[in-house]
Structures are given as C-alpha cells and as structure tokens.
Structure 1
Amino acid sequence: MSIRHFFSKPLVVLGIAVLIFIAFHIFRPQTETIQLREKVWRVEVREVHHRTLSPAVLLYARVESSRTARMHSALNADVTEIAVREGDRITSNQTLVRLDDRDSRLELRLQEAMLREIKAEIQTENQRYKKDKLNLQHEKNRRHLSRQALDRLKRLSKKNFASQVRLDEARDTLEANTLAVHDRQFSLDNYEHRTAKLDARLAQSESERDIAALNLERCHITAPFDGRVTEVFVAPGMRMQPGEPLLEIYDTEGLELRARIPHSYLPSVRAALREAYAMQATATVDDVAIRATLVRLSAEIPENYGSIDGFFQVSRGAEVLEPGRRLNLNLSLRSQEQVISVPFDAIHGTDRLYKLEEGRMRQVTVSRVGELNGEVLIRSTDLMEGDFIILTPLPNAMDGLKVTAMY
C-alpha cells in the first residue's frame, strides 16, 4: 500500500488531526494568573481633640451711614456762597451754604413793626380799662345827683314852686347820665373780649415774626453734626426754590457695617443678642484696624437668600471708612464647647468629611460652627476623641476607599 493511498483515507486524516490537537494542548506555553491588588492611597490625618474655642466667621460687609442728610432750600432765594466741597470733613454748626437774606431781613423788620403796633394797642386797651373803671364811678355819682335833683323838682312841682320845663330838663339829665353809666359798664364788660382778640392778634404776629426770623436763619445753612460732604448740587448765583436740594452729608459717628450672616450661625447670634453679649468684629482698611460691634439684625430676609443682614456699629477706625466701601469682616462668635478644628480642604461639599477606620475612609456628617485661625470649626456626634480625620483632599474620595496614614 502506498503512502499516498494511506493518507487518502478519512479516518487516518481525522486521527492525525486529533493527535496534532493533543500535542498542541500538551506542549502549549503556560500563562501565569494575574492577581489584581487594591490600590492603597496615602493620606495625611489628624487626631480628634474636642476643645472649647471661640469661632469666627468671615463676612463680606458694606459701609453705610444710618444718618445721611440731604440739605434742602426752604426759601425762594439765590445762592451767595458755597463754603464746602465734595469730600470735605465738616464739624457741627459749620457753615455749608449761604443764601441771599435781604428779602428775609425786610420781612422780619415788617413783622417786628406789626408786633410793636399790636403791643401798643394792648397797652392802650389796658389804660382805657383803668380809665373806664374810674369814670364809671363818676357816672354813677352824676346819675345819683340827677335823680336827687329830679326828686326835689317833683316835690317843688307839687307845690307849684318849679316849672314843667325844669322838671323835663331834670328828667333828660337823669336819662343821659343813666345811659352814660350803661355805656361805661358795657365797655368794661367787653374788656376781656377785646383783650382776647388783641392777644390772638399778638400771638399771630409773634408767630409771623418767629417765622420771619426762622427764614432768616435758613439763609445760613450749617452742619447738624460732624461728618463729611458726599455731594454738592448747587453753585453760587443759582435761584433756589423751596424743597430743592443743596448738598448731601453723612454723620461719621453714624457709620455702620452691613454684612450678611449665614443662617447656620443665626441661633448663636440671636442668643448672644438676647443676652446682650457684645459680639465683636474686626477688619483692616488702609492698614488701620477697624473694630465694630453687632447691634441688631435686619427685620426681613431677602427672598432666595440663605442669610440675614446684620448691622455693626463702628467703635474704632471710622475715620478711614466711607459709605459704599466693601471689606472683609471677621465676626467673633461666643465660645463653643466640644468643637474640632480642621483645615478647609478636609471638608467635602459643605457638611462631609472622612475619618480613618480600619484602613478605610468612612464618611462623617458634620455641622460648621465657625472659623478660627484659617481653619473651620466643626461638631459631630460621629467623631470620638482619638479618631483620625483624613485631611488629604482625594479627588476620588468615597466611603470604603482603602488608605494608609502618613503620621
């Protein structure tokens, strides 16, 4: 049998193929199994120590003045002098603006003359009253004498010793004297009414005189307090109408700092205000130390804001502050117990950090209570004394990640 004939049989070919497959399987190269190892991240840690600390909060404040005055003209008058310029510092009662006072002086002289006239009328009325009282007694005496004369003539007339003409004349005299008594009495009875009318005219005249004097004073505009000039609206020669603005000033003693306080700190802040605890805040402006005290909170919270406005009274450094200036303000809160100080990088989001537990990261929820010396103060019931907080801000930080501490 030839070799060619032998290999042409199907069973032989199949057997050879099986033998080749078995040979390849037996003599194939052996591959080693690769075992994946979990990566261990090296992290910096800090041991937990609960302490009593006074936290601080960084606020962004704006300088405002609670006493800003816009001075207006009260008269129709021309501006004759502008004694200050924008930015000038002023003192109380310092001259700011002068208006033409000639019309006001003439009006004051007129009102004073009218007042003197009314006072003279009152004096005349008082003298008249005294005279009427004296004359009334004389009129009564004359009436009494006239009545006696009439009675005598009546007796004589009955005896035909007096004529009818003399009797009629006596009656006329008595009537005239009686009328004089009544007129004098009427004048005395109306004395109080006349003096009341004169007193009313006197009061009116005095008021008009005082208004004229006040208008004269208003020609000389002075500063109501120590402060600074923020804006001047007029120039010499301008004709002013009542109510038109002259200039604007603010009181340097009334400067306040307005800053938004986050809601998370409001319980502590409100408790301090209720207990009259002075919460101090500090800042630095132009190398000058600023000190202020929180005095009140705003009465409303703006919509969609997670904060409320607090107002700080400046007690030091007000001379370098101007309304509108913005500054960083450090508010010192009341001492807090059982708080932990950690770097800002250790906080993930707003209220999470990780602690080291059995070589792995464990997520812990915390609450912020403030800041101190460039670190954030936190409190959490899940952090015990002696625990280790992970400080390294890993980008892939998650619960259960394997780490090793760098002490």
Structure 2
Amino acid sequence: MDFEYSDKVKGLQQRVTAFMEEHVYPNEHAFEAEVDANRKAGNAWLPTKVVEDLKVKAKAAGLWNLFLPDSEYGFGLTNLEYAPLAEIMGRSGLGPEAFNCSAPDTGNMETLVRYGTPEHHEKWLKPLLDGTIRSAFAMTEPAVASSDATNIESSILRDGDEYVINGRKWWTSGANDPRCKIMIFMGKTDPNHQNRHQQQSMILVPMDTPGVTVLRHLPVLGFDDAPHGHAEITFENVRVPASNILLGEGRGFEISQGRLGPGRIHHCMRLIGRAERALEMMCKRALSRTAFGRKIADQGVTRERIANARVMIDQARFLVLNAAYKMDTVGNKHAKQEIAMIKVVAPNMACQVIDWAMQVHGGGAMSDDFGLAHAYASARSLRFADGPDEVHRNAIAKEELARWLPRP
C-alpha cells in the first residue's frame, strides 16, 4: 500500500489549509464571542453569523461536501484521499461545519445516500448537502447500557400506513440547534425476533413531529457545546409515514455498520488534526516561557512529552490511513477490525497529547483562553461516541482469537 498523497489531494490540502488560515482561525474568538452574547441574551442555540458566513465562503471556494465517496452527490474522494483534508479541518472546532463536513450530518448524509429513497433524497438529503438544515442521530438511551445496542428499548410499531414511535433518547447531538430538521431514530420493530440483531430498525423522524419533545441540553464536562449541543428527547406516540423506514424492518444493525464505519473514521481523522494543533501550541508555549531559570522547552520532562506526542500522533495517523485504505479496497464490513483499532487509539492519543499541552500552558489551560480545555472535553467524549473503548477492544480481541479457533 502507498500512502503518498496524489497531486489532486496535495492541491486540496493547500486550498483547505489556506482557507483555514485566512478565514477559520481568525474567526474562532469571534465565534465564541457571538455564542456567548447569544447565551447571555437567553438563547445559546441560535446559529452564528460567523459560521454561516464561513459556509458561504467555503462553498464559493469549491471546498464543500468533501467527505462523500462513491456518490453522485459528493466530491468524489476516497476515504484515503479525504483523511488528510479532514485532519486539517479538525484542527479547529469551526472547521468541519464550515466545509459542511461535520458530525452527525456527514454520517446521516451517507446513510441517506446509501439507504434512502429518492423521496428521502429530495426532502432531506439535498437540503443537508446544501447546508441549509442540520440533522441528528437518536440512538443512545438513558435507561439501558446502550454500548450494547441490542438493549435499546424504544419502539417503532407499524399502524397501517404509519409507524408509531415511543422512547427516550439522550446524547442526540445537534437536536438543540434550530436548524436541525430531521433525525435518524433507532428502535425495535420486532422485540421478539429470535435474532437479536434483527429486532431493530432505523426510521426518519422530522423534529417538528407532534410528540417529539426536547427535554434539555446535556453539557460535556461543563461545556454546553452551543449552538450544536447534545439533547435528551422523549418520543410519545410519534407518528411518521411508513415510507420513512430505512431499508426495511429489522435492518437497523445492517445500516449502523454502513453508517458508523465512516462516522468513526471521520472522528479519528479530525482528532489527529486537533492533536497536531495541541502539539504545536505546546512547542510554542514551551519555547516562550521560562521556569526555574530555563525555558520550559529545555526541561527534560517537556522534551520527553513532545517526543512521545509526535510518535503517538504519527502512529495514529498511519493506523487511520490504513483503515481508510481497507475501507476503500475491501469495504467497511471487512475493515471492521481496523476501524475498531483507530476508534480506540485516536481518542486516547488526542486526550493524552492535549493533556500534555495543558500542562505546559499551566493554569491558563483550565480557562477558555487557549481552547485546550474544550478540546480535551471533546476528545474525551469521543471515547464514548460511536461505541466506547471497551466495546471496540472486545471486538478487536474476538477477531484475534478467531484466528486460532479450530476450523470446522
């Protein structure tokens, strides 16, 4: 395998980097100020002018929807080609949305491309691709250990030409945003099916459907993540057309494998970018500050951490590129072990590198001045998102053990 980037990708790297330097990084503080002003006025969930203006600029620059592979709607990049671009975007919390490449929209758009009907494409996919609406993914439930998705208790029951939905979800990212117009909801259509992986289905639920109630936003280590945020939602006798079911009853796990693979690798790509920026900040800070008569960069412990951070970031990057290569060449299903590996490695790596950068920044790192505290909270949350570490480690071990089991 060859991970050398093509001339096309190198050109896109230069363009995305230039856009980030000219438009995204200079607007980070303006974004925070706008959100803070909205928060003080009583509504932190208003879309910001800063991001909406960035989206217009990115679209005009032809840097839009870079994430979609193998689709008439997408930019035409493979996962391997997209990886270095997502890394650059991930250096800033504003980056992914500016290019219409942010979660959970990317995963939802890929789901609609793969499993949606022409009607779904027209009504929901095209506005998402245009960046005029946003979406959410409603899977995790507070009443059960949702790391085992077979535990999900929410119901999707057929009633004539409709499905009736009941349940309670949380960590439904993006549902607080008024631009969020559609959710992909996972629940059970046949709780008694003998195959526990064919009990679940996925269905499209418009946010304005009667019976959908957003109870509260859920802070992440004290950050409200506005205006995106994460919501707890109840669904009480929510009725949607039967045509909103994706792929058919009992296909929820099948869809999740198609959706979560790209979602997981996109998270990891972005985390590498955020870790790279944290390392840069650590080096600059260490070179600019003096303690006990020497630059912090001259302290042995600092140099060890900088060296280890470089090693860990590059290790994670090569694992991500390998997973992307496997997804492109043999498909998501056959790349499941590589995807599981990166989902363990990348968030843990990012947490450690950001933590070391925080140490070098001292007490200031605990404030909002440097963005490191929020970056750490985001990276830490990704050790849960799309499956916790323990689930992925278990899957990796099962694959390894299977190599040594007697063959029938």
Q: Which of 1 and 2 has higher RCO (CA within 8 Å, sep 6+)?
A: 1
TM-score, normalised to structure 2, is 0.22
Larger radius of gyration: 1
Greater helix share, 1 or 2? 2
Structure with the bigger percentage of strand: 1
Give the TM-score taking structure 1 as reference length.
0.22
